[in-house]
Amino acid sequence: MAVVKLSELISKMKLKNLTPSVSVRSAKITQADINRPALQLTGYYEHFDENRIQIIGHVEYAYMEQMKPKEKRVKFEQLLSHKLPCIIFARNLTPDALFLEIASSKKVPVLSTRMATSEVMAEIIRWLNVKLAPSIRVHGVLVDVYGEGVLITGESGIGKSEAALELLRRGHRLVSDDVVEIRKVSDDTLIGTAPDVTKYFIELRGIGVIDVKALFGASSVRDTSNIDLVIRLEEWDKDKDYDRFGLEESKTAFLGNEVVCHDIPIRPGRNLAIICESAAVNHRQKKMGYNAAQELYERVQKMMEERSRE
């Protein structure tokens, strides 16, 4: 299961650590959800999810402020005795000295932000959803072609990297060569990145490794891209039926999400880059509401009807 270090969250969200004595180095977050512990402060702990980040906003703060000192100690002890990943005070609210004291002794990190409560919640959930998304590594090349993320797959040595290089030279952008880390950020979105070690590098047989960003500039690379389309390269198989019309789309799945997939047969003389480009722009046009295969189908239908009426 994916985890995020608390220290990463602190630096990303620019949080202020109010309990410096509590070590955050080994603390980890495993859930992208958030809890506002208002009900827990009243003493109701049924269904309490202690693995979640706890956020204290104006309501919880005002409620804590009006408690009597004796009640404060009981309620704070009760809340902070759970193994909470951290507690965040929004709007720069300053926690009670007693709260910080108990949190320090129970080793619960208390953080603060100047962001408004709903803003910090939305930001954290959005960021954690990406970070904690299920992920896999696939063998392939990811290129951003006209804004469409095209994942080119196929056996080693079939020409994926060469196709990517040609696409770069035509002004498209490389995300990753050979290894793509795919994350499922929602039920219809997959995003791909390169592993840090191999970022911006392409391997070309016979030449070796080249640094695309250094050679062709920052405009030739991208750090992450959605995966909108898969192009599967394979040796031409004369017994296999390749799509000639394009009315039905075949799909392939990663992490349970389906992506449109084209099987492209390789034969000497086929310009792969231009095929990838056309596939990408055609996919884009379909998303914008025009389907060339459908249009052709309708034209033929219409002609047939006219003929039968004559």
Partner 1 sequence: MSKKKVKIGEAVVVDARGIAKAVQLASHYESALHIKARNMSANLKSIMGMMALELAKGEEITLVAEGSDEEEALAGLQHYFAGV
> What residues line the site for partner 1 (CB under 8 A)?
137, 139, 155-157, 177-179, 195, 197-198, 201, 203, 209
The verdict on whether 172 is a catalytic residue reads no
- For the CA atoms of 131, 132, 138, 141, the dihedral, rounded to the nearest 10 degrees, stands at -20
Tell me how far, at minimum, the Cβ of 137 lies from partner 1, in Å. 6
Which listed residue (172, 178, 228, 283) is catalytic? 178
Could you confirm whether 178 is annotated as catalytic?
A: yes
Catalytic residue among 16, 28, 114, 139: 139
Handedness of CA 73, 79, 80, 86 (dihedral sign): negative
The 3 state secondary structure assigned to 275-304 is HHHHHHHHHHHHHCCCCHHHHHHHHHHHHH
CB neighbours of residue 201 within 10 Å: 17
User: Using CA atoms in the order 283, 287, 288, 290, what is the torsion angle rounded to 10 degrees?
Assistant: 70
Minimum CB distance to partner 1, residue 204 (Å):
10
Helix (H, G, I), strand (E, B) or coil at 27: coil
Closest to partner 1 by CB, 147 or 195: 195
Active site residue 244: yes
Pick the closer one to partner 1 by CB: 203 or 235.
203
CA distances from 70 to 67, 77, 211 (A): 8, 11, 64
Query: By C-beta, is 179 or 266 nearer to partner 1?
Result: 179
Of the two residues 65 and 203, which places its CB atom closer to partner 1 in the complex? 203
- Catalytic site residue from 68, 244, 267, 307: 244
Rounded to a whole number of angstroms, the minimum distance from the CB of residue 161 to partner 1 is 9
Q: How far is the CB of 201 from partner 1 (least distance, A)?
A: 7
CA atoms lying within 13 Å on the CB side of residue 168: 27
As measured in angstroms, the least distance from the Cβ of 226 to partner 1 is: 21
Catalytic site includes residue 160:
yes
Between CA 147 and CA 144 the distance in angstroms is 6
Amino acid at 304: M
Instruction: Give the SS3 label for residue 105.
Output: helix
CB nearer to partner 1: give 156 or 308.
156
Check 75, 160, 184, 283 and give the catalytic one: 160
Catalytic residues: 139, 160, 178, 244
